[in-house]
Amino acid sequence: MTTKLTQEQNLIAEAARDFAQNYLDTDILDRDKKELFPSHWVKQMAELGFMGMMVSPAYEGSGMDTLSYVMAMEEISKVDASTAVIMSVNNSLVCWGLEKYGNENQKNTFLRELASGRKLGAFCLSEPEAGSDAAHLKTRALDKGAYFELTGTKNWITNGSTADLYLVMAQTDPALGHKGISCFIVEKGMEGFEIGPKEDKLGIRSSDTHSLLFNQVKVPKENLVGGLGFGFKFAMETINGGRIGIAAQALGIAQGAYEHSLAYSKERKTFGKPISEHQAIQFKLAKIKTDIEAARTLVYKAARLKDAHQSFDVASAMAKYYASKVAMEVTVEAVQIHGGNGYVRAYHVERMMRDAKITQIYEGTSEIQLLVIARSLLN
Ligand code: CAA
């Protein structure tokens, strides 16, 4: 596997960097404080082709590889991890799954809308009593002949109130356990489908996270994705790729915190010289830089394996586990380097520290990543 980046990959990263620094950066402090969803920027990301990056142009996607997507995610997350997760869910959890497992009709009807960014998607697996233990979800889909009837509750759904289309995992045959779970496309506005309360979160506050309520929602038969009983496999396969996106988000948060810290250390003076001239700060910067480089190697490796159509589930678990750990550690150190200023909003790093935490939780906690890795060693 080559480790060289292509000209196209570098150009995509540059476009994402320009967009993040010239636009997202202008209002992220305000959006974070007031929990404002960035509808205006999501629209602009759609114009840039960032909402369906890996989808074939045949379905109005940008036809790029996973590594390009990762590099764009990293640049956007450097500035604004909230907007990054909106993009990540649409790209790697919703579009990818539909392109891989949807039928032609579903791709033409739904994937085109999502990949072009005309519509936004959400991925609904977690429930109040089924987070890490996803196989024990309770949302039920009853076969009513002409349609399926969905009843249940989903929790912590990214793009919860802002999405138009929802991929919902529901149990169609409890006797079969995880092999009885199926995946359905639910559209906003279907009778019985209600958006539940918005979560008041520690971080990624400009993204929109809700619970969702399904009360006897009639879902057309043609909205079943990948066949009856394929839902758990669908979710796991999709999340394998999603974890690379979240690893890239973590990497970007860490890189952003590092860049803020490096610049700050050259400006801020103590004891008559810039703090960058104190060895205590130099060692922190050196460690941060090394940890980020190590994380980037794992994240890019996972993306390259996926692009090469090789097995990448363990690589993506390693990338997410490690990059999210680095993001947490680096942002804590970034606040420390900034001292008192690190604790106030205007300097960004306190937000980055709050944003970093979720990367150790969603799309599989760090403990779930270790479980996936450990199982691969012992099988
Ligand atoms: N890739 C592909 N297949 C997988 C898989 C993976 N990573 N993990 C499990 N499977 C398959 C197994 O091969 C098995 O298939 P068969 O039945 O054909 O043999 C099946 O799934 C069941 O596997 P297990 O027996 O291992 O199931 P388990 O219940 O013991 O454990 C788990 C499964 C790995 C713990 C899984 O439940 C898991 O990953 N949990 C975490 C859930 C998660 O990541 N949630 C995130 C929600 S999405 C989100 O956060 C989105 C957002 O909005 C940002």
Protein residue closest via CA to atom 22 of ligand 1: 178
Question: Mean pLDDT throughout 226-238?
Answer: 97
What is the C-alpha separation between 299 and 319, in angstroms, rounded? 5
Ligand 1 nearest atom to the CA of residue 364, by list position: 44
CA contacts within 13 A on the Cβ side of 188: 13
Q: Give the H/E segment covering residue 165.
A: strand 165-171
Protein residue closest via CA to atom 10 of ligand 1: 236
What is the C-alpha separation between 164 and 162, in angstroms, rounded? 7
Give the residue from 320, 99, 344 showing the smallest Cα distance to 312: 320
How is 104-123 classified by DSSP, letter by letter? Answer: HHHIIIIIHHHHTTSS-EEE
Active-site residue 363, yes or no? yes
Tell me if 239 CB under 6 Å of ligand 1. yes
Has residue 2 got a pLDDT over 70?
no
pLDDT tens digits, one per residue of 88-134: 999 999 999 999 999 999 999 999 999 999 999 999 999 999 999 99
CA contacts within 13 A on the Cβ side of 283: 3
Tell me if 169 CB under 6 Å of ligand 1. no
Give the pLDDT score at 1.
64
183 C-alpha to center of ligand 1: Å?
14
**Average pLDDT for the chain:** 97
pLDDT tens digits, one per residue of 133-161: 999 999 999 999 999 999 999 999 999 99
Backbone angles phi, psi at 55, to 5 degrees: -80, 145
134 C-alpha to center of ligand 1: Å?
7
Could you tell me whether strands 147-158 and 209-220 are parallel, antiparallel, or unpaired per DSSP bridges? Answer: antiparallel
| Residues 69-94 as b or e (16 or more Cβ within 10 Å = b) | bbbbbbbbbbbbbbbbbbbbbbbbbb
199 C-alpha to center of ligand 1: Å?
25
CA distances (Å), 268 to each of 9, 271, 279, 349, in order? 35, 10, 14, 15
What is the C-alpha separation between 31 and 37, in angstroms, rounded? 7
Give the residue from 207, 239, 243 showing the smallest Cα distance to 316: 243
Has residue 241 got a pLDDT over 80?
yes
pLDDT level of residue 3 (50, 70, 90 thresholds): confident
Question: Mean pLDDT throughout 40-54?
Answer: 98
What is the C-alpha separation between 246 and 324, in angstroms, rounded? 8
* 355, burial (CB in 10 Å: exposed 0-12, middle 13-18, buried 19+): buried
Has residue 230 got a pLDDT over 90?
yes
What is the C-alpha separation between 163 and 207, in angstroms, rounded? 11
362 near 246, Cβ under 8 Å? yes
Tell me if 136 CB under 6 Å of ligand 1. no
What is the C-alpha separation between 255 and 249, in angstroms, rounded? 10
Q: Indicate which residue of 129, 237, 363, 367 is catalytic.
A: 363
Question: Mean pLDDT throughout 250-271?
Answer: 98
pLDDT tens digits, one per residue of 331-375: 999 999 999 999 999 999 999 999 999 999 999 999 999 999 999
Give the pLDDT score at 379.
79
Protein residue closest via CA to atom 17 of ligand 1: 179
Has residue 321 got a pLDDT over 80?
yes
